[in-house]
Amino acid sequence: MNMAKSGEKVSKEKIERKPGFLYYVGSDGYVWQNPMKSNKSGKKAKVGTEKIEREKGYIYFVDSEGYVSRAKMARKSRAKK
């Protein structure tokens, strides 16, 4: 895997980003686009065909190049009560 400045690339599929949408990896493992509040015409849609296997302790995002990347969460785990 390629280690980039913003995170570790985990997908081979490139997502074409459009202005006015937010992109995220859903709980089903696929990339989704959701319209921003200012975008009245857009609809939520699945845009990726590659399923991402998630690992605990990482945050997953679509990077500036359009690939899904992950970064280690910068928070300490607390003891459960």
DSSP string over 24-40: EE-TTSSEEEEE-TT-S
In a domain, 59, yes or no: yes
Range of the domain at 53: 8-71
The answer to whether residues 30 and 15 touch, using CB atoms and an 8 Å cutoff, is no
Count CB-CB contacts under 10 A for residue 10.
19
Count CB-CB contacts under 10 A for residue 34.
14
In a domain, 48, yes or no: yes
In a domain, 1, yes or no: no
In a domain, 18, yes or no: yes
In a domain, 53, yes or no: yes
pLDDT category of residue 33 using cuts at 50, 70 and 90: very high
Give mean pLDDT, residues 33-47.
Answer: 90
Give how many domains the chain has, as a whole number.
1
In a domain, 2, yes or no: no
In a domain, 76, yes or no: no
pTM of the model: 0.74
Count CB-CB contacts under 10 A for residue 37.
7
Q: With a cut of 80, say whether residue 80 has pLDDT above it.
A: no
